[in-house]
Amino acid sequence: MKIDELCSTVVGTDDIDELRSKIKILRLRLAVYEDARVQAKYKITMAEMIERLSVKARKQVELELKVCEDMVHAKHKELTEALSELSKAKELLYQSQRSGIDV
């Protein structure tokens, strides 16, 4: 089988200029596909980075929430103790008033 026949059978033409034109088109398509592949990899990388940042941000918010909860708990404890002291002082005042002791 001759080269011309082989080209005609495989590519559909034996015209060298047409073959060159088809090769150029195929190279352009390959470049477009390669560019699309690179863009897809970039988008995947960006999505992974956003996901990591999202996880990091969530952990930061959870940590801040824990700190706030601890502060609320501590303030609640302080308030409970202050109310207890106030109640004791009120009771002492009431008892001193009943017994006629001037405070």
**84 vs 22, residue with greater confidence:** 84
Which tens digit of pLDDT belongs to each residue from 11-21?
666 677 877 88
What pLDDT, on a 0 to 100 scale, did the predictor assign at position 60?
A: 95
State the pTM of this model.
0.49
Alpha carbon distance 60, 37 (integer Å): 34
Per domain, the residue ranges of the chain are 3-99
Q: What is the 3-state secondary structure (H, E, C) of the chain?
A: CCHHHHHHHHCCCCCHHHHHHHHHHHHHHHHHHHHHHHHHHHHHHHHHHHHHHHHHHHHHHHHHHHHHHHHHHHHHHHHHHHHHHHHHHHHHHHHHHHHCCCC
Which tens digit of pLDDT belongs to each residue from 61-74?
999 999 999 999 99
Which tens digit of pLDDT belongs to each residue from 20-57?
888 899 999 999 999 999 999 999 999 999 999 999 99
